[in-house]
Chains A and B, each alone.
Chain A
Amino acid sequence: MNAPTPAEALAPPALAAPAAVSAAERAARQQQIVAALRPLLPAHALLHSREDTVPYECDGLTAYRALPLAVALPETEAQVAAVLKACHAIGVPVVARGAGTGLSGGAMPHTEGLVLSLAKFNKILKLDPLARTAVVQCGVRNLAISEAAAPFGLYYAPDPSSQIACTIGGNVAENSGGVHCLKYGLTVHNVLKVRGFTAEGEAVEFGSDALDCAGLDLLAVVIGSEGMLAVTTEVTVKLTPKPQLARCIMASFGDVRDAGNAVAAVIAAGIIPAGLEMMDKPMTAAVEDFVRAGYDLDAAAILLCESDGTPEEVEEEIGRMLAVLGGCGATRLQVSESEAQRLTFWSGRKNAFPASGRISPDYMCMDSTIPRKRLADILIAIAEMEKKYELRCCNVFHAGDGNLHPLILFDANDPDQLHRCEQFGADILETSVALGGTVTGEHGVGVEKLSSMCVQFSPEERTQMVAVKTAFDPVGTLNPGKVIPTLHRCAEYGRMHVKKGLLPFPELERF
């Protein structure tokens, strides 16, 4: 859970309920939508009373909330098409929603719009073990695909931490990763085809059952587009043969710089681990208290380094990994001797978020990515920021990918702490960009990182992205206000946010 913070403090101006719209106008608009959609859906599939729509007011980023005018829960593709056509005709914004586990507010409703819940599209339509593909509806949970494929010795490789709950449709929207994506790829590498609907309600298929398709590779841009280019209803995924064996090394380091260097050294040795994760000392203490996995509490940082494959292959690779980690100054090295022990090693990493929830009233999770070689630099920078903002921060990293998840601990009931936490987070993101990275590795921009997009992209680049959006959705019906900040917003952000004294004329008073 992210911090419950006052929506009005954070909500982008464009998304807050426009003051100009009176309650009466809103009610009239709602009536218009309900009247347009009622003939298209069964009565139970259209919600508009406050008590029915409140559960949809936020996704996994609970700090940002907005009440939609209505929620539609279509049960067939024909109903999805009809709802989209109707909304397009009367100019109603549509926000598609899966399980609502996203961490960036990508599925936060539009106050003037409709939430299109695809929860009822929850069937696995076809699983072809010979072709190693599964055709699933968008609302099927990520883990359910692997469970269905398991009897055939296959699985769906991307495994975001939320995989027991998150849906494949949401994974497509966010281009989700997981702890194994360095070796097995992201959603974009594991999806063959997406079936869905344009903003106008026209059926489209991106990709194909072959390895490529004619024309532009639209699938590549639809994946990760956060529900802004099309509505996904069906996904054809690739299934991967399950490795015969996996073993994990748990390595302790007395210094974060040694741990960071070890990550680079493993890769430099020509090894692509199945998973390579890092936890710092505060994080390790928090998770050990929670899962009692026997983590080394004296270590400044712990690395989890996994090898998978045939037994011979794993033995060979574990040997090479141990040599590299030992050579980088590991103070303790432990190799899992059983599947149970391997899962114990991972239990802490997988429970980093709930463990943080136990030691602090609130936390805010960042998601930037940096070049691997800068891991130690960012850790040291974050330690400095802890002093500057007087807040604690626990760090878990998908170290192999350079993807950081610093968890800033704070108490949202203290407005000053909330303010410092926001500044701390923005500082981490901007430092990541300055180190050659990106503001979001896998959680998406949503509404949360709109301002950070101003730091990473030029006005021309943002305009170009808006033009891409327009090519798919000329009127801007789908998920408006997300991902690409307006030029105005960036100007405001630039004014309010002095970037490490690099802003022109820092001596000028601005407020």
Chain B
Amino acid sequence: MADAALDAIVDRVRAARADKTPLAITGGGTKAFYGGPVTGAPLDVRPLAGISSYEPSELVVTVRAGTPLAELEAALAEKGQCLPFEPPRFAAGGTVGGMVAAGLSGPARPAVGGVRDYVLGATLLNGKAEVVSFGGQVMKNVAGYDVSRLLAGSMGLLGVLCEVSLKVLPQPVAAATLRFELDEAAALRQLNTWGGQPLPLSASAWWDGMLVLRLAGAAAAVQSAKRALGGEVIDAALAAGFWQGMRDQTDEFFVGAAKAVQGGATLWRLAVPQTAPPLGLPGEQLLEWGGAQRWVVTSAPAPALRDVAARAGGHATAFRGGAQGDAFAPVAPALMTIHRGLKHAFDPDRIFNPGRLYPEL
């Protein structure tokens, strides 16, 4: 990866380290709302752009972190492949590095896994201005610690992502979307019952008494599941628009949430076990991931949300809005010690994204 764009970024990091001045790693800025505020000079990684290698028969793409996500997805689509975890885009201009660093996944997450499940390798510029690579471009690799997966969702805490290798998959051959009128408890029960059967479940969303279910996979499997499940079949074009709205958070629910956030409410993301019963929180609520991801728009105080999520076996994130520096649920003291140790291991002078994940990191 020796090249001018990388050299320039290495120089910036070296200088920042010498001056002890923090850097705010940026790409397209499409997820600037997510996480704590960072005081630091912007370090734009978009000059590190381009697909380094892509061989469809290997199911692997290696791409530089500043590459627009749209460019990568277009290249994959051309070969009939995709990023199965449907990373949310929020707006145009997001980068592959931002996708990995934020670690967010879309509607297909419970069926196919999340971002980290598809990271095979990564090249990182650490806080000592060293370019180090972990993992590789093969499916199975247990040589050394799996540092590349640790980078997924690390919010730029450990270094500047320079390049990642991702597993990709063929696009599903067939898909169908079904709609059912069900209350929240019945929808959760139904989703978990279906989840235990060999059905090609791909995504789900429940809001306001309506459950929308996506099937995807081999044509024969989708057809037979459609027959078995019943429900109202949604027109394919309409369904595609709906799932895109879920993925990119442009759906009506999220438009309403954005307005409420402007009015002082918070959009919370609760990750809980799929079988967690209805949480009984005030405010509008959208369920995804078979019940494992619950979006709540509310003005209720953070401790109330965190407490409910923790009692259900999960955690709550102030996704949009909320108090500054309090986006993510605190972790247990023993884990925070490890977090501090890892921060020190990768970025001893604490120059990358201070405060983005937790104020003290």
Contacts and interface: CB of A to CB of B under 8 A. Distances in A.
A453 B142 CA distance: 11
A128 B144 contact: no
A315 to B, nearest CB: 7
Nearest to B136: A438
A351 B145 CA distance: 30
B169 A174 contact: no
A185 B167 CA distance: 11
Nearest to A129: B196
A131 interface: yes
B198 A244 contact: yes
Contacts of A169: none
B145 A216 contact: no
A437 B138 contact: yes
Nearest to B80: A270
B219 interface: yes
B197 interface: yes
B56 A268 contact: yes
B332 A210 contact: no
B104 to A, nearest CB: 9
A369 B114 CA distance: 23
Given A211-B292, A270-B80, A316 B196 contact: no
Nearest to A484: B144
A458 B56 CA distance: 29
Contacts of A317: 218
A268 B140 contact: no
A460 B58 contact: no
Interface residues of A, number: 99
Given A461-B132, A468-B342, A438 B138 contact: yes
A218 B150 contact: yes
Given A204-B335, A210-B271, A445-B142, A189 B117 contact: yes
A469 B217 CA distance: 41
Contacts of B103: 212, 217
B166 interface: no
B interface bracket (residues with beta carbon within 8 Å of A): 35 or more
Contacts of B262: none
Interface string A302-317: 0000000110110111
A220 interface: yes
A312 B223 contact: yes
Given A209-B313, A467-B345, A471-B344, A154 B144 contact: no
Contacts of B126: 464
Contacts of A313: 217-218, 220-221, 224
A14 to B, nearest CB: 17
Contacts of A243: 198
A265 B223 contact: no
Interface string A228-251: 010000000000011110000000
Contacts of B169: 272
A37 B313 CA distance: 35
A439 B145 CA distance: 13
Contacts of A465: 144-145, 147
A217 B331 contact: no
A107 B146 CA distance: 19
Nearest first, the 9 A-B pairs at minimum CB distance are A471-B341, A312-B220, A467-B345, A270-B170, A210-B314, A220-B149, A441-B140, A268-B57, A209-B313
Given A460-B131, A470-B341, 13 more contacts: A133-B273, A211-B110, A211-B289, A212-B114, A216-B153, A241-B197, A310-B224, A316-B219, A369-B141, A438-B140, A452-B143, A457-B144, A464-B345
